[in-house]
Structure 1
Amino acid sequence: MFADYHQLHVFDDGSLTDLGDAWTDQAVLDGLAVAGDALAVGTEVNVSVTVTVEVLPGRPSADETVFDHVVEGSVEVRSGRLVVMGCTDFEPDAARFTVPGGWMRVRVARANLAEARRLDIDSDEDPATMERVQLQVWPEAPSDLAVLKRWQH
């Protein structure tokens, strides 16, 4: 997925939320901007990244050791369809995932950040050097953003 402007978007299908104001200085540090029915995931690179999405019935077990940066945020998905896309992708063509309607928790786990940062625009030429983003989504009452592991670049 193309992480144009160093970000990916995750939102309720039909959301009209503008994520521009959600990118506070703290959100940039945390790598996640939260705005009700939409999230913006910060990436280290401004090129393609590998993205996996897992829709789960409940909170997954912790696995921070295999990732460089792990953060969680809440998003309201009233439609029951979660959209995942690069911020400049064509929304009608974006990937959609069926989820229970209501509040969802999203764990964003990113890996291979040092190598991707080192190679920058060339990082997406080889899967071994690409930034990897894992999104795990499950139903859960809304709660504050939580950084489970912070990467220092």
Structure 2
Amino acid sequence: MSVLFDGELFADYHQIYIADANGDFAADLPTDWNDDILAQGVNLGPGVIVVSTVRNMTTPFRVELHEAEPPIALDAVDHAVECGLTTSGEIVIAGLTDYAPDAAHASVPAGSLRALVVGTRLGTLSEDGLEGDDAYVVHLWPASGDQVVVRKQWTVG
């Protein structure tokens, strides 16, 4: 396993994205945010995964690259959703309003990847929605498949 990014990103509009660095991800960012997409916690565009966060603030975010699907203890997380991402071999990791050329970039295997997006401590959000201990980890590994699979659903309250 290698860590591609471990830091904080500004989740403006509750969104952080991982995108193929050679794609036109600004044009490919999905714009349809219906209730089902909000519940699954990710929204997909061509070469783009948008992670929906509970906070509209700076949020801990980590991206890991694995050789194969990692074992994740789902009982230790609040929400987990699996999806696909196709890349040219380089990704951008950024908040929605970050300037992509200055954002974090990382090398990944070209082709199809699976992503498991995991959210923890989602229920720690303050009443005003500005503070919390929520954190997000995206596990990537080479594998094919475009389907979105919610492996553990988090609901408010």
TM norm. shorter chain > 0.5: yes
Decide whether the 8 Å contact of 2:22 with 2:90 is kept in 1: no
Number of the residue aligned with 1:44: 54
Which residue of structure 1 aligns with residue 43 of structure 2? 33
Determine the structure 1 residue equivalent to 2:103.
94
Residues 1:136 and 2:139 are matched in the alignment? yes
Q: Which residue of 2 aligns with 1:58?
A: 68
CA pair 76-56 structure 1, distance change in 2 beyond 3 A: same
Q: Which residues in structure 2 correspond to 1:1-153 (within 5 Å)?
A: 1-17=9-25, 18-78=28-88, 80-116=89-125, 118=127, 120-121=129-130, 123=131, 129-153=132-156
- Per-residue CA deviation, residues 71-130 of structure 1 (Å, 9 max, x unaligned), is 01101002x011111010111111112111001111100011111254511x1xxxxx33
Per the TM alignment, residue 49 of structure 1 is displaced from its structure 2 partner at its CA by 0.8
CA 1:65–1:119: 2 relative to 1, 3 Å: farther
Distance 1:109 1:103 in 2: 19
Instruction: State the 1:14 CA deviation.
Output: 2.3
SS of 1:45's equivalent in the other structure is: coil
Provide the secondary structure at the position in 1 that maps to 2:17. strand
Q: Secondary structure at the match of 2:13?
A: helix
Quote how far apart the aligned CAs of 1:22 are. Answer: 4.6
- Match of 2:58, SS state, is coil
Aligned mates of 2:108, 2:30 — CA distance in 1: 25
Moved over 4 A (4+): none
**Which has the larger share of strand?**
2
The 3 A distance-change label for structure 1 pair 6 and 117 is farther
* TM-align CA RMSD: 1.4
* Cα separation, 2, equivalents of 1:24 and 1:148: 19
TM-score norm. by structure 2 comes to 0.87
> Identity across aligned pairs (percent)?
29
Range that drifts further, 85-94 or 23-32: 23-32
